[in-house]
Chain A
Amino acid sequence: MQLPPAVHARLAAGPGAAEPLPVERDPAAGAAPFRFAARLVRFPREHEFFEEGDVQRHLYLQDVLTGVAGVPERPRVPEFTCQMAGCCQVFDTLEDYEHHYHTLHRNVCSFCKRAFPSGHLLDIHILEWHDSLFQVLSERQDMYQCLVEGCTEKFKTSKDRKDHLVRHHLYPGDFRFDKPKKSKGPATSMAAMEVSTEALGDDGDTMEVCSEHVTPPPEPVGEKRSYRHRSV
């Protein structure tokens, strides 16, 4: 099937619709014994039209699922340590290291070193924990925003917000604010999800990610987030 060369260029160019040619129908068109009429077609779930694509999809899934029985091979490398200051985690696969880095070092608050699953949550954390203006404003208005992107609700306290998340967005209730005490083990997701607690200065025993205490580096490392001034 040969497409005219202009076609690819057209895709790359901007949006635009054709000015339609004038439509002029004759009543004889599609009249008996003929029967054509332009019509939209829809197919429901079980329609045989979908057979081909469904079969191909399932063949593909079968191919993939035969791999579930075995453990995937993961190339191993000589043991190495995470290079982030104060982090003591050791790895023998690059996959684990990248996962670790991403989870614990990427979206990190440069003030308190807490790690977050996403930039969005980090932003909210910085706002709520390290912005003095936020504290002032939150006395007068609802400032604790819902964590779910797209939900515009705001709340007076972080507890109210938590309740909203649990009730309305079906977040696990006991997950988010359950802080491990003097944790020597790895931080679990619940600590990582935390953006605010009732007591602000509450960072003594939370979110330690390895047994040695995390000390701040002498200068910020390239990819760490630095405090951004929110101008809203």
Chain B
Amino acid sequence: MLSPRQGLLRPVGCGVEELRRRRREREAALRRARREQQLVSKRLLRDDTPEEAEGGCVASVLGEAEIQQFLRLAQRGTEEKEREGALVSLRRGLQHPETQQTFIRLEGSMRTLVGLLTSNQALLQLEAARCLHELSHSEQSEVAEACLPATSYLLTYLAGHSADLISPHLAVLEALGYALSQLLQAKEAPKKIIPSVLASPIPERMLRLLQPGPKLNSGAAVEFAWCLHYIICSQVNNALLITHGAVSTLGLLLLYLAGTVQSSEDAGLELLVCPVLRCLSNLLSEEAVEAGGGQVQLRDERVVVSVFILLQFLLQKHPSLLPEGLWLLNNLTANSPSICTSLLSLDLIKPLLQLLPVSNVVSVLVLTVLCNVAEKGPAYCQHLWPGPLLPSLLDTLTFSDTEVVGQSLELLQLLFLYRPEAAQAFLQQSGLQALKRHEEEAQLQDRVHALQQTALHR
């Protein structure tokens, strides 16, 4: 797996303090890069990691003849070590953009590499996969595009293998997914690459690899889930993905993750959470979901339950990802009386309120979900008061963030409208004083006054 334990790649050991410091620096650099829309730059992934060349020689640009020689040796050499060595040399050369260009222009080179990727010699497969890694790091779109035709073939060949075997096949599958994910992040991807990916069998293959169960290869699944996310958020043709059953597959995967993420030793499953949440949330916003019956599937109570289990997990392990889970919850509840009813009947309002103090972004999202429930009318608000909601709202009114307070005011309006008794209780619990704090705030004034009127005239 592309992870510390097995397979293709393994991290190098380091002292803890040093690691933390470096991580903070890297994180800052990545944030800066993303804001400048430079995060897709493959350079960033390798910037602090200059290759310590084995044997002390620096990788040089390879010419056509050299590439051909290495490929020939790799394919037909008699000694295993010789063949492996040829691929190592090729891989080093491929760090240079010039070599990459020469490689893709050479007839048959990609085919040979693909053949080596499916070799039954484990070491050759691994080295070939590393070559593919190098190519996928290219900034030049032609290089990335040259990798594409091989993908469908490789996916068929490699997907035949079951996940419980420790085999370089799995590492290769993962490398393929990673390479594809790099391709899909390119600036030109929505125009040039994604349409051809969508027209190929790749999406169906990817979805098959995302099907949950004991055979799930989590390393590959993570890479392909990110691929799917890049495709979906580019909004090229999500309706097509929906007809391929993307909503159904991702929904089942979500249930599976909720069921296993707490107990599982497999760190790979954790890594699936973020891309799966994103894919589902974005797909839900497509009209085609209604037509494809996706809404019906997602009304299944187990889906909303899974979201909460994952929210709990995120709170413990990755609180900065909570907004992603809440985004899905918003899209699930916005237009669904059934799911809002589930939230109430399964007693999930209280846990939701427990997330309010985490951050302003999280607060706003939590309040938005609660508004989704409240806006459906008196039958829903009846379950919101009496209860922990009003005390929580009185708390949020003490926050200074305008957006949080604003959303609290929206919720109060709905609550007072559909459950007038709540307005009474609000007054009795010093609600007016809480409102007064915000009387001067430009963005909040009108709503504050309106609420004061409503509360006093009940």
Interface residues of A (CB under 8 A from B): 1-4, 6-8, 10-13, 15-26, 28-30, 33-46, 48-73, 94-96, 98-100, 102-104, 117-121, 147-151, 169-172, 174-175, 185-190, 192-193
B48 within 8 A of A: yes
Cβ contact within 8 Å between A4 and B119: no
Q: Which residues of A contact B274 (CB under 8 A)?
A: 53, 56-57
Within 8 A of A (CB), among B325-355: 327, 330-331, 333-342, 344-348, 350-351, 354-355
Within 8 A of A (CB), among B381-428: 407, 409-411, 413-414, 417-418
Task: From known contacts A7-B308, A18-B301, A18-B339, infer whether A39 and B334 are also in contact, taking CB-CB under 8 Å.
Answer: yes
Interface size band for B? 35 or more
Q: Which residues of B contact A16 (CB under 8 A)?
A: 300-302
For A63, give its contact among B11, B345, B354, B413 (CB under 8 Å): B11
Cβ contact within 8 Å between B167 and A38: no
Q: Which residues of B contact A119 (CB under 8 A)?
A: 160
9 more contacts with CB within 8 A, not counting A18-B341, A39-B334, A43-B278, are A18-B345, A21-B379, A23-B377, A51-B34, A55-B27, A59-B23, A64-B11, A170-B200, A189-B115
Cβ contact within 8 Å between B156 and A53: no
Cβ contact within 8 Å between B165 and A98: yes
Cβ contact within 8 Å between B157 and A36: no
For A11, give its contact among B78, B305, B377 (CB under 8 Å): B305
Cβ contact within 8 Å between A20 and B377: no
Inter-chain CA distance A4–B343, complex, in Å, is 12
Cβ contact within 8 Å between A95 and B156: no
Inter-chain CA distance A168–B403, complex, in Å, is 53
The interface stretch among B39-47, B65-73, B429-437 is: B39-47
B320 within 8 A of A: yes
A-B contact pairs, 19 of them (CB 8 A): A7-B346, A16-B301, A17-B299, A22-B377, A25-B375, A29-B418, A41-B281, A45-B230, A45-B234, A46-B37, A52-B320, A58-B44, A64-B10, A73-B10, A95-B168, A104-B120, A120-B160, A175-B114, A188-B119
Q: Which residues of A contact B26 (CB under 8 A)?
A: 59, 62
Quote the shortest CB–CB distance from A11 to chain B (angstroms): 5
For A44, give its contact among B11, B226, B235, B305 (CB under 8 Å): B235
Cβ contact within 8 Å between B9 and A65: yes
B58 within 8 A of A: no
Quote the shortest CB–CB distance from A213 to chain B (angstroms): 19
Inter-chain CA distance A102–B169, complex, in Å, is 10
Inter-chain CA distance A52–B327, complex, in Å, is 14
Task: Name the 8 nearest CB pairs between A and B, nearest first.
Answer: A118-B160, A33-B446, A20-B337, A24-B377, A42-B285, A189-B118, A103-B120, A17-B299
Task: From known contacts A36-B371, A100-B120, infer whether A72 and B271 are also in contact, taking CB-CB under 8 Å.
Answer: no
Task: From known contacts A51-B31, A175-B115, infer whether A29 and B417 are also in contact, taking CB-CB under 8 Å.
Answer: yes
Cβ contact within 8 Å between B51 and A69: yes
Mask: chain B, 123-153; 1 = CB below 8 Å from A; 0 = not: 1010000100100000000000000011011
Cβ contact within 8 Å between B341 and A20: yes
B166 within 8 A of A: yes
Cβ contact within 8 Å between A3 and B233: no
For B226, give its contact among A24, A57, A192 (CB under 8 Å): A57
Quote the shortest CB–CB distance from B351 to chain A (angstroms): 5
Inter-chain CA distance A19–B321, complex, in Å, is 31
Task: From known contacts A15-B300, A23-B376, A43-B233, infer whether A96 and B305 are also in contact, taking CB-CB under 8 Å.
Answer: no
Inter-chain CA distance A26–B415, complex, in Å, is 12
Q: Which residues of A contact B379 (CB under 8 A)?
A: 21-24
Quote the shortest CB–CB distance from B80 to chain A (angstroms): 9
Inter-chain CA distance A30–B410, complex, in Å, is 7
Inter-chain CA distance A193–B354, complex, in Å, is 56
Q: Which residues of A contact B414 (CB under 8 A)?
A: 29-30, 36
Quote the shortest CB–CB distance from B273 to chain A (angstroms): 10
Cβ contact within 8 Å between A170 and B153: yes
Cβ contact within 8 Å between B45 and A25: no
Quote the shortest CB–CB distance from A45 to chain B (angstroms): 5
For A28, give its contact among B165, B285, B417 (CB under 8 Å): B417
Q: Which residues of B contact A50 (CB under 8 A)?
A: 233, 278
Cβ contact within 8 Å between B167 and A99: yes
Quote the shortest CB–CB distance from B354 to chain A (angstroms): 5
Chain A CB count within 10 A is highest, among B52, B120, B157, B414, for: B120
Task: From known contacts A29-B414, A40-B285, A63-B11, infer whether A102 and B153 are also in contact, taking CB-CB under 8 Å.
Answer: no
Cβ contact within 8 Å between A188 and B115: yes
B195 within 8 A of A: no
Task: From known contacts A1-B315, A62-B49, infer whether A150 and B204 are also in contact, taking CB-CB under 8 Å.
Answer: yes
Cβ contact within 8 Å between A99 and B169: yes
Inter-chain CA distance A68–B321, complex, in Å, is 28
Cβ contact within 8 Å between B338 and A20: yes
Task: From known contacts A8-B309, A15-B302, A70-B52, infer whether A59 and B27 are also in contact, taking CB-CB under 8 Å.
Answer: yes
